[in-house]
Amino acid sequence: MDTSYSRPTSTELRQFSRDYGSFDSFLAEFLDVVERTKTLQEILTHWLLTEELEYYGRRSIVVKQGRAFMQQSELPWTLIPDSMNWYFATKEEAFAWLADALEQIEKSLRS
């Protein structure tokens, strides 16, 4: 279990944005949760119901980049909560949420 939580460096943030741009933009959708007026699931559901090309057209890219990020080891897992401004206690907790979110996105692409 990875319980280390170190903030990403500015170099890591730039690389993440460059290499995983659509995934990074997807995570930024959750910044509205700062006031905790909506849950992560409510924001994800809203994002999935949005048919605007800006969101709908990049869903498959978000899934591809999200899965690739979960498989890589160069960049820290803390880029996920840092990009969302949401606290996950462990890498496992962050990846469990992410895996579920990506599964829901994939399901929306099949329907």
User: Is 42 part of any domain?
Assistant: yes
Inside any domain, residue 2:
no
User: 4 lies in a domain?
Assistant: no
Q: Is the pLDDT of residue 21 over 60?
A: yes
Q: Is residue 3 part of a domain?
A: no
Q: Would residue 66 count as lying in a domain?
A: yes
Any domain includes 90: yes
Rg (C-alpha) for the chain, rounded Å, is 13
pLDDT band at 36 (very low <50, low <70, confident <90, very high): low
Residue 80 in tokens: 């996920």
69 neighbors 78 (Cβ within 8 angstroms): no
Judge whether residue 5 has pLDDT over 70: no
- Tens-digit pLDDT profile for residues 43-88: 888 888 876 655 567 889 999 999 999 999 999 999 999 998 888 8
Range of the domain at 66: 10-110
Distance (Å, rounded) from C-alpha 5 to C-alpha 40?
Answer: 20
CA dist 40 to 53, 71, 84, Å?
22, 23, 10
Asked if the structure places residue 1 within a domain, the reply is: no
* pLDDT for the residue 74: 93
Q: Who wins on pLDDT, 8 or 55?
A: 8
Q: Does pTM surpass 0.85? A: no
Share of the chain above pLDDT 90, in %: 49
Greater confidence (1 vs 29) lies with: 29
- Name the 3-class secondary structure at 75: coil
**Has residue 52 been placed in a domain?**
yes
Average pLDDT of the chain to the nearest whole number: 85
Number of domains, the chain: 1
Q: Can you give the pLDDT at residue 40?
A: 83
